[in-house]
Structure 1
């Protein structure tokens, strides 16, 4: 199996999956988007996306954001801890270039990969 694939098991698929993450999560945020994370009992990380129309109005802009979020996760997944991550877009995310978005994702993944204190 390709270690950089983004298969079904790497996604949060149900509303319950999302609610679990929202229950007790650590977050890493920027003015452009927030990533919340919660330990999971699996042997790999999973990704969920929340990109509200209210925040990013046009479908192409939402799709671009989601594409970059998935790609960033896909390339880093082998370094990420076994957590469920939900990326929540904010209005200003659409103003970033692809490169700026990737850099910001990298920074937030690193922050969320540190061992949790507690």
Structure 2
């Protein structure tokens, strides 16, 4: 009989979304929101703050006024979590906030086109954070004589 390891028990290189990887408390959200937005896209604003943990944490804010249907809000959160899990982010707290309406009450809640757009925007936000970390860690290029 094969041994079965529970998902998320391997912390080394883990891509789970356990509670320790989430921003859940109001004061944690507030401390990240106090800082200026790091980046903006057509629909999202990303706020970041360095943390003292060995991993990144994510909070997602999707207001009902910008995504009136629950299915749309849940899709946005699901896509954000999926991309966060697969990104190799530095130890930062990230809050992704929806800043513009994605569809109306009478429109389709979750289309493939909408998911693809959201995925591209969120991927761009997270990739920029990984690139910024790489630039801050990389040694400066050698100067020419």
- TM-score w.r.t. structure 1 length? 0.86
Which structure: larger Rg? 2
The 8 Å contact of residues 68 and 102 in structure 1, kept in 2 or not, is answered as yes
* Structure with the higher fraction of residues in helix conformation: 1
Which of 98, 105, 121 aligns to 1:104? It is 121
Q: 1:84 to 1:25 in 2, by over 3 A?
A: farther
CA distance in 2 between counterparts of 1:63 and 1:49 reads 10
The unaligned stretches of length 5 or more in structure 2 are 1-9, 104-110, 137-145
Match of 2:107 in 1: none
Structure 1 contact 56–62 (Cα < 8 Å) conserved: yes
Q: Which has the higher contact order (CA 8 A, sep 6+)?
A: 1
Q: Distance in 2 between matches of 1:90 and 1:104?
A: 12
Which of 84, 107, 110 lines up with 2:93 in the alignment? 84
Work out the CA distance in 2 between the residues paired with 1:30 and 1:52: 16
**Structure 1: runs of 5+ lacking an equivalent:** none
Structure 2 counterparts to residues 1-118 of structure 1, below 5 A: 1=10, 3-76=14-87, 79-94=88-103, 97-113=114-130, 114-115=132-133
Contact 1:27-1:35 within 8 A present in 2 as well:
yes
* Count of paired positions: 115
CA shift, 1:106, in A, is: 1.4
2:83 touches 2:122 (CA, 8 Å); kept in 1? Answer: yes
1:29-80 Cα deviation digits (max 9, x unpaired): 111111111111111000001111111111111111111111111111xx10
Whose strand fraction is larger, Structure 1's or Structure 2's?
1
